[in-house]
Amino acid sequence: MMLIECPVCKEKRPELEFRYAGEAHIARPEDPDALSDQEWAKYLFIRSNPRGTHFERWVHAHGCAKFFNAVRDTVTDKFVMTYKCGEARPSPEQIAERQS
């Protein structure tokens, strides 16, 4: 079973306790009224869907119940690192360091 480290509990826990919650670092537009329908649709539905490193949100649903962010490789399904909501997106150097 895959173990995921929760940055709030600071523990590796079984994946059954977690839920995926979409791509991370997508900021809601400050003024939705000013957006065209296409721009709004882009915010709502268009995601990067990369092959490789992906920044995503997870929730420790059956644990501390907190959301956090994770870096996961979509090819290998390996978690590179997890970090708390509100923290900056890790740099490519930090990710490479964790992967090595």
Partner 1 sequence: MFSDADSGSLKLDQGVHIGDCLRLPDQRFDLNLVDERSRFCLRVRETHVSAFAKASGLALPTQVGTTRQDENALIMCLSPDEWLIIAASESKDLIKRKTDQFKSAPFSLVDVSHRNVAFTLRGEGAAAMVNVGCPLDLDLKAFPVGKCTRTIFERAEIILYRPAETEFHIEVWRSFAPYVLSVLSNGAQAQ
Q: Which chain residues interact with partner 1 by CB under 8 A?
A: 1, 8-11, 13-14, 16-17, 62-66
Q: How far is the CB of 79 from partner 1 (least distance, A)?
A: 17
Q: How far is the CB of 53 from partner 1 (least distance, A)?
A: 28
Question: Among 72, 42, 67, 43, which Cα is nearest to 55's?
Answer: 72
How are beta strands 67-73 and 79-84 bridged, if at all?
antiparallel
Q: Alpha helix (H) ranges present in the chain? A: 37-45, 92-99
Q: How far is the CB of 65 from partner 1 (least distance, A)?
A: 6
Choice between 14 and 32, CB closer to partner 1: 14
